[in-house]
Chain A
Amino acid sequence: MSSYTYQHYPYRRPPELDGKAARRPVVIVGAGMAGPTLALELAARGVPTVVLDEDDTVSFGSRSICQAKHSLEVWDRFGIAQRMVDKGITWEQGEVYLGDQAVYRFNLQPEPGHKFPAFVNLQQYYVEEFLYERCLAEPAIEMRVLNKVVGVMPHDDHVVVEVETPDGRYTLEAEWLVACDGVRSPVRHMLGLAFEGEVFHDQFLIADIRLLDELPKERRFWFYPPFHPTNSVLLHRQADNVLRVDFQLGHDADAEEEKKTENIDCRLRLMFGPEARWEHEWTSVYTFTCRMMQRFMHGRVVFAGDAAHVVSPFGARGGNGAIADVDNLAWKLALIVTGKAPEALLDSYDSERRAAARENILNSTRSTDFITPKFPASRAFRDAALALARDFPFARALINSGRLSVPTLQPESPLDTPDRDGDWVGGPGPGRAMLDAPVGLKGENGGWLIDRLGRDFNLLTFGQDRVEPPDGVTGIAVGGNGLAWRRYDARPGTTYLIRPDRYVAARWRSPDPAAITAAVERAQGRNTGRSPA
């Protein structure tokens, strides 16, 4: 059925089965999107990892398809983002239809001047394959397929993991265990931890097909289309000429009936017309939930991605949220296991990423409530917004077919130093993600700001009065007076301290070495909560 060839990665007998056991600094459960990304981030910082996965291949089905700019920027550090761009479908615009009329067109990246586009659509199995291959090339990462975690025993300063393999069981000791093992997280179940939230009852049908005719490139969303008049339909293109068609079926649909090829073909025939030809790629009938754990940290066990929080698919906030989690976690964990920061630094992973999960769940729930109104008044307002949208531009802003993933806000994190200069009118303040921009090297054009950043902390200075960055901080002087200056609301002397996860930790109108040092200390969990004098 699928045009994708699933690779089976080689299993190797783990050395622990032959009595060679050593405590590992970090063990990761799950080789989906989040686990391998975390392993790469840790390897780049000199921290070796073992990645355990219960099967030996990548995601079955295309699943998460919209890879956001901020995720691509993470993967670019490991040289695999361009491969994803080349293989995938770049898109920045979308159209919303009411019936057969286009009522609203949006552009997610209206201003040029970024290395990466707003989104690249690429099936999850390709993302996982590229990540997996990149991990295999990394000596500090041990990928262990067919290694299923069957027991987790937390201790004060380590975790003992029991693992089942084709050759029998062994135990592995880890200073830190990171569970990236998905929405049904076996680790979460083994520890008996709650996963509470809201259950949605509307059913949706995904029909991934290869349409053998002309393909639309951009996201299209229909409310009440003539070919499916009672509900909504989403159309999205992926690599290999695959189209994602997502039909809203309603509460009382019969999933088994809907999954039958002849019934799906019937729906597709109405949509694409009598001449169209297609082949089936993957089919799924699904409902969804929005849930999150009360804490993402349980002693030395850390949860990330779908294991910690799950959202509805409208907005591409699942996979992209998971990548943002591990990007936040990796540098903190690396500082802790190398003894450069106190364990308490990880409390900020919990608070920052739970705030992010709440924002993602809020946006995803609102989109879901708009697409599948739960009571008559909600439907009446939804239909009113749709009806007004053609003639009244304001109503277009109310149409919510998915608020697509952008970096979330991390307000008032104890790691960040609040603005002291009161004259900012723009630019990303503390708790916001940094922005990419073109920066010329020695007056030349064509380079990108994200390409000039060092792996860890970065100090961005605008203009001539460049200060010497503290130890371990990469200094970047932005010359000229171009787009980067506007994006950062910069004047000569403006200075930004950027965290390793590319969030802004602090900024100043004129550089002061003592304040910069204090902000770096604070962002690494030392002197947290006290403003520099």
Chain B
Amino acid sequence: MTALRRTLNLARPDDIYNAIIDAHKGLSDEQCRDFDARLILLLVNHIGDEAAIREALKEAATT
């Protein structure tokens, strides 16, 4: 049983993907890392589902 959603859950995937890219524009590597860390923590708290988050951690490490 998987807790992590695999199918598309975004109405306008190109819009949100490019918003993420634009947010990184002009940042140094270190600033990118810090930005991504804050972003991940914000999203993780919003998701709240620990099983899904743990599964995502595993998938991101192995994909």
Contact status B25-A375, CB under 8 Å:
yes
Q: Which of A370-396 contact B (CB under 8 A)?
A: 375-378, 381, 385, 387-388, 391-394
User: Contact string, B5-42, partner A, CB cutoff 8 A, digits 1/0?
Assistant: 11111100110011011001101010010000000000
Q: Mark A384-418, 1 if CB is under 8 A from B, else 0.
A: 01011001111001101001000000000000000
- Separation of A385 and B55 alpha carbons in the complex (Å): 17
Report B3 CB to chain A, min CB distance, Å.
14
**Bound Cα distance A366, B15 (Å):** 9
A372 to B2, CA, bound (A): 34
**Is B63 in the interface zone, CB < 8 Å from A?**
yes
Work out how many contacts link A and B, with CB atoms closer than 8 A.
Answer: 49
Q: Contact between B24 and A375 (Cβ–Cβ < 8 Å)? A: yes
Interface size of B by CB at 8 A reads 19
Contact present for A377 and B6 (CB under 8 Å)? no
- Docked-complex contact B18 and A388, CB < 8 angstroms: no
Q: In this complex, what residue of A is CB-closest to B36?
A: A377
Contact: B27 with A391, CB < 8 Å? no
- Residue in chain A with minimal CB distance to B5: A394
Q: Is the CB of A369 closer than 8 A to any CB of chain B?
A: yes
Is the pair B8, A397 in contact by a Cβ cutoff of 8 Å? yes
Pair A387/B63 contact, Cβ less than 8 Å: yes
Residue of B nearest to A388 (CB): B63
B21 touches A397 (CB 8 A): no
Measured between beta carbons, the chain B residues less than 8 angstroms from A366 are 14, 18
Interface size range on A against B: 10 to 19
Are B14 and A394 in touch, CB under 8 angstroms?
no
Least distance between B28 CB and chain A CB atoms (Å): 10
Q: Which residues of B contact A375 (CB under 8 A)?
A: 24-25
Give complex CA distance A388, B60 in Å. Answer: 8
The distance in angstroms between the C-alpha atoms of A400 and B21, with both chains bound, is 13
Partner among A381, A387, A388, A392 whose Cβ is within 8 Å of the Cβ of B21: A381
Are A393 and B7 in contact, with the CB atoms below 8 A? Answer: yes
Q: Interface of B with A (CB < 8 Å)?
A: 5-10, 13-14, 17-18, 20-21, 24-25, 27, 29, 32, 59, 63
Closest 8 CB pairs of A and B: A377-B24, A394-B8, A397-B13, A377-B32, A397-B8, A392-B6, A378-B21, A398-B17
